[in-house]
Amino acid sequence: METVPTLKPWEGTVLKALTGEDLPKPETCTVFNSDEKGDRLSAERILKEFSVGNRGLNTTLWKSWGSVPMNKGQLWTLSMNKQSLEGLEKLDMSPSFRFGRLKFRRKREKKLEDKVQHTAVGPKSSTSKADATVPEEKKQDCETKEPFNQRGTSPLKRHTVYQQKDIAMEEEVVKIESRCKFLERKLRKNNVIIFGIVDKDEKQFPEQVLNTLNQHLETNFTKSDINNVYTLGKTTNAPIIIEFISFFRKLEIFQDKEKLKNLNKLGISISNDLFEEDRNDASILRKHLKQVLEQNKTAKLRGYKLEIEGRLYTARDFDEDTEYEDERDTEEEESDCDTIDSDTKKNKPVKSKTSEEEKKKDKSSVKRRHASSPSPKSFQYRNTRQKEKRIKK
């Protein structure tokens, strides 16, 4: 008769199933994947690509919780164990995917303290409909927010930052404007404008212009000295622009002034090619040059400046409405008015107050500024004033 062996009780470790908080919680992450040629990949295909492209990354325990369409792609929510998350962290949360990399973002759960509903602070609790519709989390954020002045930077600091940016932008604009003017002058440096040539032959137009210059100015210009010749407009009296290759060949036109005067008698005039601002400045300087020469004073034009008795002036130093008056005359008038001898008081009658007031007004109306040493503030003021005048015109 067979005897059944008696089983001994288990003496090893007791294994129990984990329940509740003892269970390890899965880690959730989000990742964005763009659509390829309009085709959306499935979750299985994406997980397979991750496992193939990254060694040591096991995606068998991963789970997909769906996707949301976003910016021509899909935002996937994936859950994984802790070991897989550690593997992602070793790869800087950017595992390789096909020919590139995808960035994972960890999705953390909110703390229990944030989920607790706080009661209303104060002696009276709000019972309005508007308060009932607002969620408790938003109420909590509004209550815990710091005042405006304490959040980040103050409005005054922000204002100073914006002011500094505006100043930097203005300086940059001034630099760009000066650079544009420099390039514009450089482009027109070798150019000459001719006025008064009426009969123009379209077939032999360059030869005709060169022949007139060579005939009246006794020069030997050829086609090799010129880059281009064209008219500004389609009228018969349209001015002609000649672009010389070298600046020195252009200067040969202005060497003999008597021959240029003879050309002016024939109704043909030659001048430099200037852009609009330089043309306006040149007209202002010529106007004041005539006024100074009428007073029998020495004056010359030197480029974009006017030399009057050894002093240089620019167009900005003159106002278009006022005429030029010498400083010496005004100083003598002031000295005569201020210092009067006793003998002259006895012999001559005392001047009336009205005449003295008129003289003071005349002196105040005289506007003189020296070009060599203008202050930066007055320089900026004059620039803005001139711009306003041009806009009004």
239-268: pLDDT as tens digits = 899 999 999 988 888 888 888 888 888 888
Give the per-residue pLDDT at 282: 84
Which residues face 73 on adjacent strands?
34
Whole-angstrom Cα Rg for the chain: 45
Structure tokens at 302: 């030197």
What fold is seen in the domain 24-107? Alpha-Beta Plaits (3.30.70)
65 DSSP assignment: E
Type of residue numbered 359: K
Q: Is the dihedral of CA 294, 297, 301, 304 positive or negative?
A: negative
Block residue for tokens 């020469």: 293
- Minimal CA–CA distance to 93: which of 103, 101, 83? 103
pLDDT digits (tens, 9 = 90+) for 292-302: 888 888 888 88
What lies within 8 Å, CB to CB, of 372 at 6+ separation is 311, 312
Secondary structure string (H, E, C) spanning 140-168: HHHHHCCCCCCCCCCHHHHHHHHHHHHHH
Please state at what angle helix 205-217 crosses helix 257-265, rounded to 10 degrees.
Answer: 120
Structure tokens at 377: 């503030």
Structure tokens at 268: 């043909």
pLDDT digits (tens, 9 = 90+) for 193-229: 998 887 777 778 888 888 888 888 888 888 888 888 9
pTM of structure: 0.40
Calculate mean pLDDT across residues 74-83.
Answer: 85
Is domain 190-273 in CATH 3.30.70, yes or no? yes
Residues belonging to the chain: 393
Calculate mean pLDDT across residues 68-96.
Answer: 84
Residue 100 and residue 111: Cα distance in Å, rounded?
35
Residue 167 and residue 130: Cα distance in Å, rounded?
46
Residue 366 pLDDT grade (very low, low, confident, very high; cuts 50, 70, 90): very low
Residue 341 pLDDT grade (very low, low, confident, very high; cuts 50, 70, 90): very low
**Of 21-25, 87-91, 184-188, 199-203, minimum mean pLDDT range:** 21-25
**Of 143-157, 222-236, 336-350, minimum mean pLDDT range:** 336-350
What's the gap between Cα 39 and its chain centre? 43
**Of 161-170, 212-221, 274-283, 324-333, minimum mean pLDDT range:** 324-333
Parallel, antiparallel, or unpaired: how do β-strands 104-107 and 100-101 relate? unpaired
Give the per-residue pLDDT at 393: 54
Give the per-residue pLDDT at 370: 39
Q: What percent of the chain has pLDDT over 70?
A: 65
Residue 309 pLDDT grade (very low, low, confident, very high; cuts 50, 70, 90): confident
Parallel, antiparallel, or unpaired: how do β-strands 100-101 and 191-195 relate? unpaired
pLDDT digits (tens, 9 = 90+) for 144-171: 444 444 445 567 777 788 888 888 899 9
